[in-house]
Amino acid sequence: MTQTRTTRLDRGRSALGPALELVHTGQAPTRAVLTAELGVTRATAGAVAAELEALGLITVDAHPTAPVGSQGRPSHRLAIDPAGPVALAAQIHADGYRAALVGLGGRIVATAPGCGIVDADPAQVISEVVEVGAELLRTTGRRCVGAGLAVPSAVAEPEGTALNPLHLAWEAGAPVRDTFRACLAETGVTDQVHGAAVAGFAANDLNVAALAEHRHGAGRGARHLLVVGTGHHGVGGALVLDGRLHTGSSGLALEVGHLTVDPEGRPCHCGSRGCLDVETDPVALFDAAGRTADSGTSLLTQAAELVRTRYADDPGVREAAGRLIDRLGLGLAGLVNILNPDRIVLAGLHRALVEADGERLRGVVADRSLWGRSGSVPVLPSELEHNSLVGAAELAWQPVLDDPIGTLGG
């Protein structure tokens, strides 16, 4: 028997992947920088850049960019090819779904108007959002490298099933990833290189948001990034370690909603009391402020807006939000003791809280974490508007970043 072809040790052997990652995260403006960052010779960096250009991923300026104050030959600028391939990103949330095309660097190239239907089974909703995305691909004529789906639920690995699809009319255990892939195949979103359907990935929305923030937002450069956020469906967490999402052994890590932050707090559906989830969500804010929400926009939006506009002036809001900040700080401190991240990024209502009074929040985290004083952890608001959508695209871009030639041709 002839020996089977093996590629296991070939992964990562080429400098192409790391180079593309640098371009992707905006850290490779020129070939000279690429040389330094990759630790290779100028010859290699030049060859790598040429290869990326040949793959249609980047453009190299014909004319050098005038340097400001340095001597030496000026560099030619490397830029992400604006006409390059894109990833199909889809997001399903409590209010409906969204689709977009996202290019390298997390740039949203095209978006479809959102839709508000959620009272349907997974197959129906996923089918619709894939159809919308496919339409985007057809009208723009873009080449597609893959597709990613963000869902408001923990996604089990490696099954790809949604375990707690709260606020969605889905049963637990819905095979979202396989459904997504089937829809991609049916809709004819095919890979121009390999002829088959493009690879489809599905993950929790906050997890992929963390990925997006790490690469293009407030988490850029962090080695161990912790992201915590309140969405429409409770508090969630995500962890990015050395550039990779840590989802645990079965995709269920960072279920931080039920950390106890007040032993005498509100009862939680998990059976305990004073969970981070029920103590720092929009309902807790309105209750603490003695207000009632309007029936118009979502509770989350109203709560964030309330904190943003009234924290400085309204003592009632200040006290209510302060209560949430203290509880959140306690939860974050517990996570700091366990995970020791070098940065924390907050999303959703938590983002509004840190923007309103980051000083207070950071103080609580420092006081209640064991090593807070030896170097307090930066706690920042998230930066990207559509981080879940961009993050869904990251899932699809990942194989390309790992092995550009293997996925795009050659």
Q: Is 322 in the site for a copy of itself (CB under 8 A)?
A: no
Give dist(CA 152, CA 165) in Å, integer.
Answer: 6
Per rule CB under 8 A, count of chain residues that contact a copy of itself: 49
Q: In the set 21, 25, 31, 148, which binds DNA (CB under 7 A)?
A: 31
If binding is defined by CB under 7 A, does position 48 make contact with DNA? yes
Min. distance of Cβ 47 from a copy of itself in angstroms? 13
Kindly state whether residue 408 participates in binding DNA, applying the rule CB under 7 A: no
Could you say which of a copy of itself, DNA, none residue 30 binds, taking C-beta under 5 to 8 angstroms by partner kind? DNA
Counting contacts by CB under 8 A, is residue 185 touching a copy of itself?
no
Cα distances (angstroms) measured from residue 192 to each of 110, 186, 343: 19, 16, 39
* Closest distance to DNA from the beta carbon of 22 (Å): 13
For residue 161, what are its two tokens?
Answer: 């099933």
**Options 5, 242, 292, 375; binder of DNA; rule CB under 7 A:** 5
Kindly state the smallest distance separating residue 207's Cβ from a copy of itself, in Å. 12
Q: What are the C-alpha distances in Å from 40 to residues 120, 302, 401?
A: 53, 52, 18
267 binds, among DNA, a copy of itself, none (CB under 5 to 8 A by kind): none
248 binds a copy of itself (CB under 8 A): yes
Q: Any idea what the Cα angle at residue 316 is, between residues 313 and 319, rounded to 5°?
A: 95
Please say which residue, 152 or 341, places its beta carbon nearer to a copy of itself. Answer: 341
| Distance in angstroms (rounded) separating the CA atoms of residues 355 and 346 | 9
Q: Counting contacts by CB under 8 A, is residue 236 touching a copy of itself? A: no
**Cα separations in angstroms, 270 against 84, 174, 242, 342:** 47, 21, 32, 30
What does 102-165 look like in DSSP terms, one character per residue?
EEGGG-EEEEPPPB---SS-HHHHHHHHHHHHHHHHHHHT--EEEEEEEESS-EETTTTEES--
R_g over Cα of the chain = 23
Give yes or no for residue 27 binding a copy of itself (CB under 8 A).
Answer: no
Looking only at the bridges linking them, the beta strands covering 86-93 and 144-151 are parallel
Is the separation of the CB atoms in 390 and 89 below 8 Å?
yes
395 by Cβ neighbours in 10 Å (0-12 / 13-18 / 19+) ranks as: buried
Verify binding: residue 269, a copy of itself, rule CB under 8 A: no
Using rule CB under 8 A, residue 381 touches a copy of itself: no
Query: Which listed residue (37, 56, 59, 76) binds DNA by CB under 7 A?
Result: 76
- CA–chain centroid gap for 391, Å, is 4
Task: Please identify, using beta-carbon distances, which residue of 202 and 275 lies nearer to a copy of itself.
Answer: 275
CB-CB neighbours of 101 under 10 Å = 23
Check binding of 27 to DNA (CB under 7 A).
no
Site for a copy of itself contains 371 (CB under 8 A):
yes
Is 7 one of the binding residues for DNA (CB under 7 A)? yes
Cis preceding-peptide flag for 158 (omega within 30 of 0) = yes
By a kind-dependent CB cut-off of 5 to 8 A, residue 163 interacts, out of a copy of itself, DNA, none, with: a copy of itself
Q: Does 49 interact with a copy of itself (rule: CB under 8 A)? A: no
Q: How many CB atoms lie within 10 A of CB 327?
A: 24
Q: Which of 26, 39, 267, 316 binds DNA (CB under 7 A)?
A: 39
Tell me which of 4, 249, 292, 374 binds DNA, using CB under 7 A.
4
Site string for a copy of itself, 216-235 (x = CB under 8 A): -------xx-----------
Stretch near DNA under the rule CB under 7 A, chosen from 14-22, 241-249, 308-316, 372-380: 14-22
377 torsion bin: left (phi>0), alpha (psi -120 to 50), beta (else): beta
Which residue is it, tokens 């429409």? 232
Other beta carbons less than 10 A from residue 372's beta carbon:
18
Binding region for DNA (CB under 7 A): 1-11, 13-16, 30-32, 35, 39-50, 64, 66-67, 69-76, 405
Q: Using CB under 8 A as the criterion, which residues of the chain lie in contact with a copy of itself when the complex forms?
A: 3, 6-9, 13, 15, 18, 38-42, 154, 156, 163, 223-224, 237, 241, 246-256, 258-260, 263-264, 270, 334-335, 337-342, 370-371, 374-375
